[in-house]
C-alpha cells in the first residue's frame, strides 16, 4: 500500500498472505491504519535519532566552544599577567586615569616614589596627589595639561618635582590619550622616567669643565706670580744674608721675606688646585697613615671635637703623595672643626670600593678599585648654593682673615692629579661628608726615607743658566756666583743649545721649564745627548715635575739661596 505524505510518495507498506484472499474495504482500512502507525513510528524514530545526533553535535560544539573560551581566557590572563608584570616592574612611573583625571591604577615604582599604596591615591585627581602637591604651582599646570591631552594633544616635558620620598627629583614626564577602535578617548596614561642621575652627571661634567678652565687660568697666574716672586725673594734673601743695613731695616726685610713665604705657600695651593704641584706618587698605606695622624688631628681640632677613626682591615695601598695626603687630611679636618663651633663629632673612615662605568655618583672616575677616605662632621653643613661653589679657589664662608678659601681646592687638585676625585655631600644643618677617592694599588707601601744632605753646594764648575725672564735669570745668577760657580746666561733654550754647539761645556745646566720655543726638558735632553755627564736642575713656576722627566731634578720658584744650595748639594750627592 503506498504512503503519500504532503503529496509526496514516501513509502510502500507490503502485506502478504500465502493463500488467495479477497481484500475487503475493512481489510484495506486496517492495513492503512497499521501502515500509518508504522510510518509514524518510523518518523518518530528518525526524529529521535536526529535529535540525538543534533544534541551530540551541539554538545561537541559546546565543548569545543568551552575549550576555545578557556584557552582564550587563559591566553588573555597570561597576557594580562605579563602586561601587569611589566607594568609593576617598570622603572618608569606609570599610571592610568579616567576622563576626569582620577587615578585608576599606578605601578609600584610610581607609588614607591611617594611612599604610598594604590588605595591612597585611587580615585583622586592626579594633580592633587603627592606626586605634584609638594611642588608649588605644579598641580595647576598638570591639571591644565591633562584636559588638553583629553582633547587630543600630546604632552612631554622635563620637570623637577619635590617628592615625599627622595626630595627634589628630575623627570622626563609625558601624558597621552588611550583611544578605542572608533578613535574615542577612553583613558589617559601619564608616565615619567627619572633623569636625576643624568642631571647630576651633567652638573658634575659642567663643574669639572669649569674647574678645569679655572685651573688653567690659575696655573698661568701662579706661574707668572712665581716668576715675579723669584727675584723679590732672591733680593730680600741677599740683603738679609749680607746684613748691610741697620737692624730696623733688617726687621723690615725679615717681615718682607715672611710675606713672600706666605705668598709662596699661596701659589703652591693655587698650583695644587690647578693640578700642577710636584708630586711623588707611590703606594701609601692610608689606614696606617690615618691611624698615625689621629693624635695630630685631635690636637688640631681641639677638646670640643670628638675624633673617631674607622679603618678597615686588609685594604690595598693607595697611589698618593704621602706628604700632600697628610696636608689634605689636615685641611679637611680643619674645615670640619670650623663647621662645628659648638663641638661635635669628626669621623674619619677608610674603605675600599669598586667603581663601575655605570656608577653615576663618581662619574669622573675611571672604572677600577679605589681607596675611599671619608671625613664627615656633624656641623652646620652647607646649602646647595654654597656646595656648588665649595671647591672653587678663594671661595670661603669663614669670613675675612679666617681662611684663604684654598683648602678644598688643594684637596680637589691633589685627587685629580693622582687620578682620583673629591666629592662633597652636605645639607644645611646636617653636616658635611668629604670623600677623597684615590686609585688603589696592590704594591707594598714603601717606608719613609730620611736622608740628611748637607745644604752646601760645592760651588765648583761652570753653570749654564737659562731663563726667558731677565729678573729671574739675574737674581739666580747672583746666588750661584755667591755660591762660587761660574755662570753663563742664556735667554732661551735655542740660545743655550747654540752655545753648547759652539763648544761650551757646562758642568751644570739650570734651566726654566716653560719658555717660548724649546722647553727646559727638551734642552736638557739635547745637552745630555751631547754631554751625558752634565748635571741638570729644572726650575719652574708651574712645578710640573711630570713634564720634566724622571731623570731631571727640579726646584720650585720662588726659592732662597739656601734652598738652591741644598738642591745642588743633593744633585752632587746623587752623583
Mean pLDDT, residues 225-235 = 83
pLDDT at 542 over 80: no
pLDDT value, residue 273: 54
- Decide if 90-194 and 462-574 have a common fold: no
pLDDT at 451 over 50: no
Burial of 534 (0-12, 13-18, 19+ CB in 10 A): middle
pLDDT at 46 over 70: yes
CA 214 – CA 9 distance, rounded (Å): 115
CA 310 – CA 28 distance, rounded (Å): 125
Instruction: Choose the weakest-confidence range: 416-430, 442-456, 501-515, 532-546.
Output: 442-456
pLDDT at 450 over 50: no
pLDDT, one tens digit per residue, over 423-440 is 899 988 899 999 999 999
CA 123 – CA 119 distance, rounded (Å): 8
pLDDT value, residue 91: 80
Pairing of strands 535-540, 508-512: parallel
Instruction: Choose the weakest-confidence range: 8-12, 68-72, 491-495.
Output: 8-12
Give 186's DSSP letter.
Answer: E
- Give CA angle at 213 (210, 217), nearest 5°: 135
pLDDT, one tens digit per residue, over 244-262 is 667 777 788 888 888 887 7
Phi, psi of 353 (to 5 degrees): -130, 150
pLDDT at 36 over 60: yes
Mean pLDDT, residues 480-499 = 93
**CB neighbourhood size of 240 (10 A):** 17
CATH 1.25.40.10 fits 90-194, yes or no: no
pLDDT value, residue 352: 93
Confidence bin at 457 (pLDDT 50/70/90): low
Give 360's DSSP letter.
Answer: G
Mean pLDDT, residues 216-237 = 78
Burial of 257 (0-12, 13-18, 19+ CB in 10 A): middle
Burial of 464 (0-12, 13-18, 19+ CB in 10 A): buried
**462-574 falls under which CATH superfamily?**
Response regulator (3.40.50.2300)
pLDDT value, residue 94: 92
**450 membership: H or E segment, kind and range:** none
- Give CA angle at 207 (202, 210), nearest 5°: 125
CA 376 – CA 347 distance, rounded (Å): 5
* Longest CA span, the chain: 182
Task: Report the range out of 38-47, 67-76, 152-161, 227-236 with the highest average pLDDT.
Answer: 152-161
User: Residue 256 corresponds to which cell in the numbers above?
Assistant: 718682607
CB 461 within 8 A of CB 484: no
Give the DSSP per-residue string, 220-231: HHHHHHHHHHHH
CA 228 – CA 557 distance, rounded (Å): 9
Give 445's DSSP letter.
Answer: P
pLDDT at 357 over 90: no
Give the DSSP per-residue string, 102-142: BEEEE-HHHHHHHT--HHHHTTSBGGGSHHHHTSTTHHHHH
pLDDT value, residue 214: 65
Average pLDDT score, the chain = 84
- Pick the closest to residue 377 from 403, 411, 323, 341 (CA basis): 341
CA distances from 244 to 162, 196, 237, 471 (A): 71, 67, 12, 22
Mean pLDDT, residues 91-109 = 93
pLDDT, one tens digit per residue, over 358-400 is 765 566 788 899 999 999 999 999 988 888 778 776 666 655 4
Confidence bin at 201 (pLDDT 50/70/90): confident
pLDDT at 274 over 70: no
pTM of the model: 0.46
CA 575 – CA 563 distance, rounded (Å): 19
pLDDT, one tens digit per residue, over 108-125 is 999 989 999 999 999 999
Extents of the domains making up the chain: 23-84, 90-194, 200-273, 282-441, 462-574
Topology of domain 282-441 in CATH is Heat Shock Protein 90 (3.30.565)
Mean pLDDT, residues 399-405 = 48
Higher model confidence: residue 212 or residue 291? Answer: 291
pLDDT at 234 over 50: yes
CB 30 within 8 A of CB 66: no
For residue 174, the cross-strand partners are 156, 191
Amino acid at each position: 500500500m503506498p504512503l503519500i505524505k504532503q503529496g509526496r510518495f514516501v513509502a510502500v507498506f507490503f502485506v502478504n498472505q500465502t493463500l488467495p484472499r479477497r481484500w475487503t474495504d475493512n481489510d484495506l482500512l486496517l492495513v492503512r491504519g497499521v501502515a500509518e502507525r508504522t510510518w509514524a513510528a518510523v518518523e518518530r524514530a528518525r526524529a529521535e535519532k536526529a535529535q540525538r545526533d543534533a544534541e551530540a553535535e551541539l554538545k561537541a560544539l559546546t565543548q569545543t566552544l568551552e575549550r576555545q573560551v578557556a584557552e582564550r581566557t587563559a591566553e588573555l590572563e597570561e597576557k594580562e599577567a605579563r602586561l601587569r608584570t611589566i607594568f609593576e616592574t617598570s622603572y618608569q612611573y606609570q599610571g592610568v586615569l579616567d576622563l576626569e583625571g582620577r587615578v585608576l591604577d599606578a605601578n609600584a615604582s610610581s607609588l614607591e616614589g611617594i611612599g604610598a599604596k594604590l588605595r591612597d591615591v585611587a580615585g583622586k585627581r592626579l594633580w592633587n596627589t603627592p606626586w605634584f602637591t609638594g611642588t608649588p604651582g605644579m598641580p595647576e599646570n598638570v591639571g591644565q595639561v591633562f584636559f588638553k591631552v583629553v582633547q587630543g594633544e600630546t604632552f612631554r616635558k622635563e620637570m623637577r618635582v619635590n617628592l615625599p620620598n627622595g626630595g627634589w627629583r628630575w623627570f622626563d614626564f609625558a601624558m597621552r590619550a588611550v583611544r578605542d577602535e572608533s578613535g574615542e578617548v577612553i583613558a589617559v596614561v601619564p608616565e615619567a622616567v627619572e633623569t636625576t642621575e643624568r642631571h647630576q652627571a651633567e652638573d658634575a661634567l659642567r663643574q669639572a669643565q669649569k674647574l678645569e678652565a679655572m685651573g688653567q687660568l690659575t696655573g698661568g697666574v701662579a706661574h707668572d706670580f712665581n716668576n715675579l716672586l723669584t727675584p723679590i725673594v732672591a733680593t730680600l734673601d741677599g740683603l738679609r744674608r749680607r746684613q748691610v743695613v741697620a737692624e730696623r731695616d733688617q726687621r723690615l726685610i725679615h717681615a718682607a721675606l715672611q710675606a713672600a713665604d706666605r705668598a709662596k705657600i699661596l701659589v703652591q695651593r693655587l698650583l695644587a688646585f690647578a693640578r700642577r704641584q710636584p708630586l711623588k706618587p707611590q703606594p701609601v698605606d692610608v689606614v696606617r697613615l690615618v691611624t698615625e695622624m689621629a693624635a695630630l688631628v685631635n690636637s688640631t681640632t681641639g677638646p670640643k671635637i670628638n675624633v673617631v677613626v674607622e679603618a678597615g682591615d686588609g685594604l690595598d695601598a693607595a697611589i698618593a703623595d704621602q706628604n700632600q695626603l697628610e696636608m689634605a687630611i689636615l685641611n679637611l679636618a680643619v674645615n670640619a672643626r670650623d663647621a662645628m663651633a659648638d663641638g661635635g663629632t669628626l669621623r674619619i673612615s677608610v674603605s675600599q670600593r669598586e667603581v663601575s662605568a655605570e656608577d653615576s655618583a663618581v662619574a669622573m672616575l675611571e672604572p677600577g678599585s679605589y681607596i675611599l677616605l671619608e671625613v664627615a662632621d656633624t656641623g652646620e653643613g652647607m646649602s646647595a648654593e654654597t656646595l656648588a661653589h665649595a671647591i672653587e679657589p678663594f671661595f670661603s664662608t669663614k669670613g675675612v682673615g679666617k681662611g684663604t678659601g684654598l683648602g678644598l681646592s688643594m684637596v680637589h687638585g691633589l685627587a685629580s692629579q693622582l687620578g682620583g676625585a673629591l666629592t662633597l655631600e652636605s645639607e644645611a644643618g646636617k653636616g658635611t661628608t668629604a670623600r677623597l677617592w684615590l686609585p688603589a694599588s696592590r704594591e707594598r707601601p714603601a717606608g719613609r726615607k730620611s736622608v740628611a744632605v748637607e745644604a752646601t753646594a760645592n760651588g765648583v764648575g761652570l753653570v749654564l743658566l737659562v731663563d726667558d725672564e731677565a729678573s729671574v735669570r739675574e737674581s739666580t745668577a747672583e746666588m750661584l756666583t755667591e755660591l762660587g760657580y761660574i755662570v753663563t746666561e742664556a735667554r732661551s733654550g735655542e740660545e743655550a743649545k747654540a752655545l753648547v754647539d759652539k763648544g761650551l761645556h757646562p758642568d751644570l745646566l739650570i734651566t726654566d721649564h716653560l719658555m717660548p720655543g724649546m722647553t727646559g726638558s727638551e734642552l736638557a735632553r739635547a745637552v745630555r745627548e751631547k754631554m751625558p755627564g752634565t748635571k741638570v736642575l729644572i726650575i719652574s713656576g708651574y712645578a710640573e715635575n711630570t713634564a720634566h722627566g724622571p731623570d731631571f731634578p727640579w726646584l720650585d720658584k720662588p726659592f732662597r739661596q739656601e734652598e738652591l744650595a741644598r738642591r745642588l748639594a743633593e744633585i752632587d750627592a746623587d752623583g
